[in-house]
């Protein structure tokens, strides 16, 4: 198995205690990926980013994000606009409060991450993990990843701290089904029989007993087709590379903008122009000012 690579480094902050950590994705997707091809010759189907106004193919470096309001107004935002938004310190996981674990509805859980101690002594890390486990409480934290701050739950799992990002309450749909209105309650005899059936099938949960049969059979089908070399198996052209991941492309676009901005700065200095004439907002490689603690978005409370 490929070794895990940390995707974030920072620290947990609760009270006066600071715990340096590294963050790793706790899960991975093993689903087989497909792409679209021309049924006749197996050639990759590729898509161009064409502007609906000018008809030109647009590079990622020239693409910004936009929001269309309900009344027909389009608002275009660039990196500078997003940098103005309040967010938690990007390299800090502030603990907001500790809540009973059973009060967090599992439907709120989103993606999971492992935290590894990142200091010469893991004493503070072990202390926090042990305190969470023995108190049966979960820490609510702010977690900023890829410029997006989420509410998250931090708990101890077999001595390892785990962060699970949470959906905001208004992101969970209400379950309102008229078909259940006035539904007849089960009769005592029916309920007793159902409970007997449940008890007869009751076992301790062991996830290793379950496998993804669909993916396993799909892999067998692909291996069989490759080994047979039938008409549906075609060689892949050397230049036929998979589409780049959207997040990677966003990073490349940001770097491209930074390179262009740096090049303009060098050219300006070469011509003897004063560097002060260049607006600071034009340099998108500049880091945004550090937010004050008061700008952090507090966790919303209900009830």
Q: Are residues 15 and 119 in the same domain?
A: yes
Q: Are residues 161 and 51 in the same domain?
A: yes
Please name the residue that has the structure tokens 């069989």. 224
Rg (CA), the chain: 26
Domain boundary residue, one of 151, 171, 191? 171
Q: Are residues 22 and 143 in the same domain?
A: yes
- Check which CATH number belongs to the domain holding 108 and give it: 2.40.290.10
pTM score, whole prediction: 0.63
Q: Does some domain include residue 217?
A: no
Per-residue pLDDT of the chain (303 residues; tens, 9 = 90+): 567 888 889 999 988 888 999 999 998 888 888 888 888 888 888 888 899 889 899 988 889 999 999 988 999 998 888 777 766 557 899 999 999 999 999 999 999 999 999 988 899 999 999 999 999 999 999 998 877 888 999 999 999 999 999 998 899 999 999 999 989 999 999 999 999 999 999 999 888 888 888 888 888 888 888 888 877 877 776 655 555 544 444 545 555 565 565 566 556 555 554 444 444 445 444 444 444 443 444 444 444
Q: Are residues 119 and 265 in the same domain?
A: no
Torsion angle, CA of 70/75/78/83, rounded to 10 degrees?
-70
In 118-252, beta strands by DSSP E:
137-145, 148-157, 160-166
Residues 6+ apart with CB under 8 A from 283: 258, 261, 265
> What whole-number distance in Å separates Cα of residue 94 and Cα of residue 296?
10
Q: Does some domain include residue 95?
A: yes
In 1-102, beta strands by DSSP E:
8-14, 17-25, 65-68, 74-77, 92-100
> What whole-number distance in Å separates Cα of residue 6 and Cα of residue 13?
19
User: At 124, is the secondary structure helix, strand, or coil?
Assistant: helix
Overall number of domains in the chain: 2
Q: Does some domain include residue 224?
A: no
Domain boundary residue, one of 120, 148, 171? 171
Residues 287 and 95 sit within 8 Å (Cβ to Cβ): no
Which domain, by its residues, includes 253? 247-274
Q: Does some domain include residue 266?
A: yes
């Amino acid at each position: 198995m490929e070794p895990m690579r940390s995707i974030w480094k920072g620290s947990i902050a609760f009270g006066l205690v600071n715990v340096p950590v590294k963050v790793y994705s706790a899960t991975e997707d093993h689903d087989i990926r497909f792409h679209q091809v021309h049924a006749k010759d197996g050639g990759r189907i590729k898509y161009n980013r064409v502007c609906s106004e000018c008809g030109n193919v647009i590079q990622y470096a020239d693409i910004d994000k936009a929001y269309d309001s309900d009344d027909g107004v389009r608002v275009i935002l660039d990196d500078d606009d997003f940098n103005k938004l309040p967010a938690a310190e990007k390299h800090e996981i502030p603990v907001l409060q500790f809540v009973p674990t059973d009060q967090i509805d599992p439907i709120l859980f989103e993606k999971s991450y492992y935290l590894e101690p990142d200091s010469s002594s893991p004493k503070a890390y072990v202390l926090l993990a042990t305190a969470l486990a023995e108190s049966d409480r979960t820490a609510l934290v702010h977690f900023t990843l890829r410029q997006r701050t989420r509410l998250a739950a931090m708990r101890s799992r077999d001595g390892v701290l785990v962060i699970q990002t949470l959906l905001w309450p208004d992101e969970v749909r209400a379950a309102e089904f008229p078909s259940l209105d006035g539904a007849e309650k089960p009769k005592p005899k029916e309920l007793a029989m159902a409970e007997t059936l449940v008890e007869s099938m009751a076992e301790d949960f062991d996830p290793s007993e379950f496998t993804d049969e669909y993916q396993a059979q799909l892999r067998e089908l692909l291996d069989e087709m490759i080994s047979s070399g039938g008409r549906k198996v075609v060689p892949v052209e050397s230049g036929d590379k998979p589409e780049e991941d959207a997040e990677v492309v966003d990073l490349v676009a940001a770097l491209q903008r930074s390179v262009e901005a740096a090049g303009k700065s060098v050219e300006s200095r070469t011509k003897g122009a004063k560097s002060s004439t260049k607006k600071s907002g034009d340099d998108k490689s500049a880091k945004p000012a550090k937010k004050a603690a008061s700008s952090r978005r507090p966790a919303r409370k209900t009830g």
